[in-house]
């Protein structure tokens, strides 16, 4: 093995691996650096370290620098869109987790007519282009007379997030021995007790993983949300998009870095829980 490690092929593989990581993370690293750059006009030119962009993001006017009011965001607005995003992400991923888990249990444990077709249809919302789904949802909500609001965003997100949760939990269930549920019944446990004490604990990593994935996807969804958000119900990604229209401002970098950090924490937690055996 040690010989092999020194071989040109091995070196090339290592190089490729490193290059791939750079490719993935260079933009994120760059935006992180920019978010601390004091240069307000041209962020590609380093002018010294500053936390001003983070401060102005939350309405704190740094002293000493020449900031006009236009550079400072309205903190009420930021907190409101942040709140909207979190409410949507939490509600949609919680509802989707329940629906997706229940669906996975049903398809894993029972046979019914048209099961294969049903399983196929569950994949479809994931495969469908977001823009199609967004337009379809908009037409639907308008058609049935729903006023566009946070609720319509939540409902819209549930339609495709349930599929993600379903797939993750179904994979977990496929690896679970169903004689364990039989054994639980044999020992006198009714269906509810069996679910609570045997099935749920065993699929829990999948359930939590599915929830976190759904949460992250919901949190940063732009396309679908764009169609089904009401005029006064902006989410964070839509807010960033609106900020961009006014030009790329340094605050956007700061906001992006905060989002990256948050996603990183949630994704790590999800990965950890999924890899943890039982």
Binding site for another protein (CB under 8 A): 177, 179-180, 182-191, 193-194, 197-198, 201-202, 278
Cβ contacts of residue 141 below 8 Å, gap of 6+? 148, 152, 156, 228
Rg (CA), the chain: 24
| C-beta of 3 vs 277, nearer to another protein | 277
| C-beta of 13 vs 183, nearer to another protein | 183
* DSSP labels, 175-226: TS-THHHHHHHHTT--HHHHIIIIIHHHHHHHHHHHHHHHHHHHHT--HHHH
Residue 46 contacts residue 250 (beta carbons within 8 Å): no
Token pair of 9 as six digits: 């092929």
Q: How far is the CB of 104 from another protein (least distance, A)?
A: 18
Q: How far is the CB of 225 from another protein (least distance, A)?
A: 38
Ramachandran angles phi, psi of 99, nearest 5°: -65, -50
| C-beta of 77 vs 197, nearer to another protein | 197
| C-beta of 46 vs 272, nearer to another protein | 272
Token pair of 200 as six digits: 């749920």
Q: How far is the CB of 211 from another protein (least distance, A)?
A: 19
Q: How many CB atoms lie within 10 A of CB 68?
A: 6
| C-beta of 73 vs 181, nearer to another protein | 181
49 secondary structure, DSSP code: B
């Amino acid at each position: 093995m040690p010989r092999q490690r020194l071989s040109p092929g091995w070196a090339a593989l290592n190089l490729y691996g490193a290059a791939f990581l750079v490719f993935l993370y260079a933009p994120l690293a760059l935006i992180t650096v920019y978010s601390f750059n004091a240069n307000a006009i041209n962020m590609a030119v380093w002018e010294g370290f500053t936390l001003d962009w983070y401060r102005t993001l939350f309405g704190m006017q740094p002293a000493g620098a020449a900031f006009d009011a236009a550079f400072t965001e309205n903190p009420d607005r930021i907190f409101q869109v942040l709140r909207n995003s979190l409410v949507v992400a939490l509600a949609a991923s919680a509802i989707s987790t329940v629906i997706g888990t229940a669906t996975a249990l049903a398809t894993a444990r029972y046979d019914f007519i048209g099961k294969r077709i049903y399983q196929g249809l569950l994949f479809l919302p994931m495969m469908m282009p977001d823009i199609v789904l967004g337009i379809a949802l908009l037409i639907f909500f308008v058609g049935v007379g729903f006023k566009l609001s946070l609720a319509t965003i939540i409902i819209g997100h549930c339609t495709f997030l349930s599929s993600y949760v379903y797939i993750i939990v179904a994979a977990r269930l496929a690896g679970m021995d169903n004689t364990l549920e039989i054994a639980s019944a044999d020992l006198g446990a009714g269906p509810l007790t069996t679910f609570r004490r045997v099935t749920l604990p065993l699929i829990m990593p999948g359930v939590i993983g599915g929830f976190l994935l759904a949460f992250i996807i919901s949190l940063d969804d732009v396309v679908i949300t764009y169609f089904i958000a009401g005029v006064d119900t902006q989410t964070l990604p839509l807010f960033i998009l609106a900020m961009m229209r006014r030009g790329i401002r340094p605050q956007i970098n700061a906001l992006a870095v905060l989002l990256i950090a948050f996603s990183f924490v949630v994704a790590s937690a999800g990965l950890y829980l999924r890899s943890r055996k039982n």
